[in-house]
């Protein structure tokens, strides 16, 4: 843990950093009895760059597979001009850096710089990640440059300070580019040997990173306390530490909304985004929550971190779990936004809800599409068991219909196995069949229906009340090489994209496309590109991040501009389907919504052709307060014809399950 208040001039001093770290240390020692806590604390003049690097390296040397390594920094943050080698991965050509005690000093009128850059921290993390420890980094500092939006401070008359240092001698307000020899990895990574992107030479060690604010915001301290650290500790204490990284971030954002323009962010580095749903410090593994976080905000009242993007409407009812976990309070949506909503409780209930606590809020409208299901099971016990589970598990989101023609999905039984088929493809399983005799067969089928309900929700998600956009502000281009040479656009017709798919001379089929997004509007927009796979999985990180901010006329490529391989799934051939269809979904918003999109991620269902695989995909690789929010979506269906398809009259025999 590193905390610096007494920075030497010309860096402005702070008041709350040492206090922050001492409180975090006290929490860890008292409230995490399951750990043997070993803390190395560097305060003020102890926290030179050399000491921080040395302590990081030596203290975490013993961290192994069953351990947690936590690096907590409370102090100033800044930016520095990046070496040209970093430009491909740094759009603004700057590195985010933390300011150690001796990072900016003046000797004989000459400035001296010893910043600790994000790339150096990444290098240190990679050295300890090899042993398998659960690594967490927390930064209560500002990571912004000169374009920080410092306004919108709701409190006045208090000692409010920014944890940000700028270099006023430069127009960019960023510190000057350093010589390569000043990086701590310069001896192991020689500049003259770097022949590709520096990312290849700086491996990403798996870790969770929590930051007090976004890159274009400031982190504040008020009355000698860091706003982020104060709220983090408050939520950890009230939840007894049983909270996921996602919940932590969502609840802190609710607390800060309308008070400071400071939006805490949590990132997963080196692994999939589902790690956000691990318990804090990996204390327990939890699945993705099917609830929203409800907390009281002094300016806006009761808030839930779900909105229209998650299926809520002004008619939605939210059941808020009481502190005793046995009682529920009923809240109605009073005001609806894209990624949050204001709730109103009846008078006789509002007095019984503690404004100092956070609660879980459940709604049947959340992240689930209604499904019509036809049950075609003859085994009486299995049929009754399944009907009972459906009626008790879905709160009327599943409607049982009497004919297959009226159903979205059918549950069938054949050859002693249960399976699910889709409308228009009777007796063609979409997921691996389950032996009827299996003790939990109906439970697994119920879980599959839950999965399909979530998948259909995301697939059909749209904002019927979008008002800022007269037309789609994001242009999506699909590019494909013709004759292996020229790159041409693939036409989009009524949302369908049909790229050229060829039979190669070696007997294999193939082809590839590239996908580019461009902001055609005159304002900054936030974009996500989701891939809905053939086997009902949802990949949320198709761009360089789950959500990418695009300035006017800015562009971003899917998978960094890589060729995306086209494939024809085994099921298409095995079941004589006319074509393969997968979907790319673009979501665009006027405000950042990364943590909302993360909830949409789903693994694929087990393939009926090869249940042990993850399925074959088209891809070769596996609110700002004070602003008006708006968002919209658009689907692009990528269709590939089955060259072996036979019409019913041509087929000599039907597919036998």
CATH code (residue 303): 2.40.10
Does position 109 have pLDDT exceeding 80, yes or no? yes
CA distance 581 to 569: 10
Find out whether 544 and 515 touch, Cβ atoms under 8 Å.
no
Tokens 């909105």 belong to: 307
Rounded Cα distance between 384 and 378, Å, is 10
Q: Is residue 465 part of a domain?
A: no
Q: What is the CATH number of the domain that holds 123?
A: 3.40.50.1460
Mean pLDDT of 150-177: 66
The answer on 320 and 250 residing in a single domain is: no
Report the sign of the C-alpha dihedral through residues 530, 533, 538, 540, in that order.
negative
Q: Binning pLDDT at 50, 70 and 90, where does residue 586 land?
A: very high
Residue that is last in its domain, among 327, 342, 362: 362
Q: Domain boundary at 282, 301, 324, which?
A: 282
Query: pLDDT band for position 507 (50/70/90)?
Result: low
> pLDDT tens digits, residue range 227-267?
999 989 988 887 778 788 877 887 787 667 656 667 788 88
Same domain, 412 and 305: no
Segment 451-467 mean pLDDT: 86
What is the token pair recorded at 95? 């590195």
Place of tokens 């009902």: 536
Closest by CA position to 273, among listed 560, 600, 614: 600
Residue 47: closest CA among 70, 69, 72: 72
| Residue 187 included in any domain | yes
| Distances, alpha carbon 228 to alpha carbons 11, 255, 305, 489, in Å | 21, 10, 18, 47
Q: What is the pLDDT of residue 274?
A: 59
Q: What is the largest CA-CA distance in the chain?
A: 91
**Does one domain contain both 500 and 589?**
yes
Residue 654 confidence (pLDDT) above 50: no
Interatomic CA distance for residues 234 and 530, integer angstroms: 34
Q: In which band, very low, low, confident or very high, does the pLDDT at 348 lie, cut at 50, 70 and 90?
A: low
**Highest mean pLDDT of the ranges 48-57, 265-274, 390-399:** 48-57
Domain extent for 155: 2-282
Q: How many domains does the chain contain in total?
A: 4
Q: Both 133 and 254 in a single domain?
A: yes
Q: What is the mean pLDDT of residues 177-184?
A: 94
Tokens 């009626």 -> residue = 391
Structure-block tokens of residue 650:
């041509």
pLDDT tens for residues 597-613?
877 888 788 888 865 44
CA distance 132 to 62: 11
Position 325 scores a pLDDT of 53
Task: Determine the pLDDT at residue 615.
Answer: 35
For residue 71, the surrounding DSSP H or E stretch is strand 68-74
- Phi, psi at 406, each rounded to 5°: -95, 0
653 is a domain residue: no
| CA–CA separation, 264 and 579 (whole Å) | 44
Question: Quick one: tokens of 562?
Answer: 């890589």
Lowest mean pLDDT among 70-84, 434-448, 581-595, 631-645: 434-448
In a domain? residue 650: no
Mean pLDDT of the chain: 82
**Residues 43-77: tens digit of each pLDDT:** 999 999 999 999 999 999 999 988 999 999 999 99
Q: Is residue 652 part of a domain?
A: no
pLDDT band at 427 (very low <50, low <70, confident <90, very high): confident
Query: 151 and 90, same structural domain?
Result: yes
Surface-to-core class of residue 459, CB atoms within 10 Å of its CB (0-12 exposed, 13-18 middle, 19+ buried): middle
Query: Which band of pLDDT confidence, cut at 50, 70 and 90, is reported for residue 484?
Result: low
The verdict on pTM exceeding 0.75 is: no
Residue 106 lies in a domain: yes
The secondary element (H helix, E strand) that includes residue 444 is helix 441-460
Residue 185 and residue 68 in one domain: yes
Q: Is the pLDDT of residue 213 over 70?
A: yes
Do 198 and 217 belong to one domain? yes
Do 42 and 87 sit in the same domain of this protein?
yes
The per-residue pLDDT for 252 is 81
C-alpha 32 chain-centroid distance? 27
Looking at per-residue confidence, does 224 or 364 come out higher? Answer: 224
Lowest-confidence pick of 35-49, 165-179, 641-655: 641-655
pLDDT (tens digit, 9 = 90+) per residue, 517-564? Answer: 999 999 999 999 999 999 998 988 899 888 999 999 999 999 988 888
Over 4-57, what HEC string results? CCCCCCCCCCCCCHHHHHHHHHHHHHHHCCCCCCCCCCEEHHHCCHHHHHHHHH
pLDDT of 650 strictly over 70: no
Do residues 410 and 275 both lie within one domain?
A: no
Give the pLDDT confidence score for residue 509 in this predicted structure: 65
397 and 531 share one domain: no
Q: Which residues of 254-281 are buried (b: 16+ CB within 10 A; e: fewer)?
A: bbbbebbbbbbbbbbbbeebbbbbbbbb
pLDDT of 143: 65
155 pLDDT band, cuts 50/70/90, is very low
Give the pLDDT score at 164. 80
The dihedral built from the CA positions of residue 283, 284, 290 and 291, taken in this order, carries a sign that is negative
Same domain, 261 and 303: no
Q: Give percent above pLDDT 70 in the chain.
A: 86
The last residue of one of the domains, among 225, 253, 282, is 282
Q: Tell me, what's the pLDDT at 247?
A: 74
Task: Please give the Cα distance from 100 to 165 (Å, whole number).
Answer: 11
> Is 656 a domain residue?
no
Q: Which of 77, 82, 244 is nearest to 145 (CA)?
A: 77
Query: End-to-end alpha-carbon separation of the chain, Å?
Result: 60
- 300 and 254 in one domain? no
pLDDT band of residue 282 (cuts 50, 70, 90) is confident
State how far the Cα of 450 lies from the Cα of 439, in Å rounded to an integer.
19
Is pLDDT larger for residue 211 or for residue 567?
211
Please give the residue that has the higher pLDDT: either 263 or 108: 108
In a domain, 467, yes or no: no
CA distance 16 to 140: 11
């Amino acid at each position: 843990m590193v905390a610096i208040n007494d920075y030497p001039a010309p860096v402005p001093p702070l008041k709350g950093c040492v206090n922050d770290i001492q409180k975090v240390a006290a929490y860890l020692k008292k409230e995490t009895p399951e750990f043997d806590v070993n803390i190395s604390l560097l305060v003020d003049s102890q926290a030179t760059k050399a000491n921080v690097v040395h302590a990081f390296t030596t203290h975490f040397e013993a961290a192994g597979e069953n351990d947690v390594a936590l690096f907590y920094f409370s102090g100033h943050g800044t930016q520095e001009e990046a070496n040209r080698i970093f430009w491909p991965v740094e759009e603004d050509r700057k590195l985010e850096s933390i300011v150690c005690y001796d990072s900016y000093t003046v000797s004989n009128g000459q400035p001296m710089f010893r910043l600790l850059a994000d790339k150096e921290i990444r290098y240190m993390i990679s050295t300890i990640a090899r042993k398998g420890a659960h690594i967490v980094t927390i930064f209560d500092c500002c990571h912004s440059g000169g374009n920080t939006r410092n306004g919108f401070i709701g409190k006045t008359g208090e000692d409010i300070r920014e944890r940000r240092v700028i270099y006023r001698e430069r127009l960019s307000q960023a510190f000057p580019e350093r010589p390569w020899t000043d990086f701590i990895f310069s001896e192991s990574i020689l500049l003259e040997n770097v022949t590709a992107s520096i990312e290849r030479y700086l491996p990403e060690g798996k870790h969770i990173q929590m930051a007090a604010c976004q890159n274009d915001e400031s982190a504040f301290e008020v009355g000698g306390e860091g706003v982020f650290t104060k709220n983090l500790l408050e939520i950890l204490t009230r939840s007894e530490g049983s909270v996921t990284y996602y919940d932590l971030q969502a609840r802190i954002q609710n607390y800060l909304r309308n008070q400071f323009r400071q939006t805490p962010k949590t990132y997963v580095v080196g692994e999939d985004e589902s790690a956000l749903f691990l318990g804090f410090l990996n204390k327990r593994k939890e699945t993705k929550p099917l609830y929203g976080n409800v907390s009281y905000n002094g300016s806006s009242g009761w808030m839930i971190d779900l909105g229209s993007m998650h299926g809520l409407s002004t008619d939605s009812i939210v059941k808020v779990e009481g502190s005793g976990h046995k009682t529920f309070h009923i809240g109605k949506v009073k005001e609806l936004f894209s990624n949050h909503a204001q709730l109103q409780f009846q008078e006789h209930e509002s007095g019984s809800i503690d404004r100092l606590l956070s609660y879980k809020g459940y709604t049947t409208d959340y992240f689930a599409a209604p499904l019509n299901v036809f049950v075609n099971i003859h085994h009486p016990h299995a049929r009754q068991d399944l009907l009972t589970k459906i009626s008790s598990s879905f709160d009327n989101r599943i409607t049982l219909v009497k004919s297959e023609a009226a159903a979205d999905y059918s549950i069938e039984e054949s050859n002693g196995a249960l399976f699910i088929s889709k409308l228009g493809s009777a007796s063609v399983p979409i997921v691996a069949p389950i032996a009827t005799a299996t003790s939990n067969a109906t439970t697994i089928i119920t879980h599959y229906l839950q999965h399909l309900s979530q998948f259909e929700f995301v697939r059909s998600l749209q904002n019927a009340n979008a008002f800022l956009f007269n037309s789609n502000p994001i242009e999506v281009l699909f590019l494909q090489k013709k004759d292996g040479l020229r790159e041409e656009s693939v036409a989009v017709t009524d949302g369908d994209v049909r790229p050229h798919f060829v039979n190669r001379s070696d007997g294999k089929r193939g082809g590839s496309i590239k996908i580019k997004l461009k902001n055609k509007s005159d304002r900054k927009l936030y974009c996500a590109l989701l891939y809905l796979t053939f086997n009902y999985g949802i990949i949320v990180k198709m761009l360089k991040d789950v959500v990418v901010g695009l300035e006017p006329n800015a562009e971003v490529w899917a998978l960094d501009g890589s060729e995306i391989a086209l494939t024809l799934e085994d099921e298409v051939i095995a079941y004589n389907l006319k074509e393969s269809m997968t979907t790319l979904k673009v979501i665009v918003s006027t405000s950042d919504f990364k943590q909302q999109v993360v909830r949409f991620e789903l693994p694929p269902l087990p393939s009926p052709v090869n249940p042990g695989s993850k399925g074959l995909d088209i891809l070769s690789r596996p609110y700002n307060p004070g602003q008006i929010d708006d968002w919209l979506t658009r689907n692009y269906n990528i269709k590939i014809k089955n060259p072996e398809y036979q019409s019913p009259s041509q087929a000599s025999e039907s597919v036998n399950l």
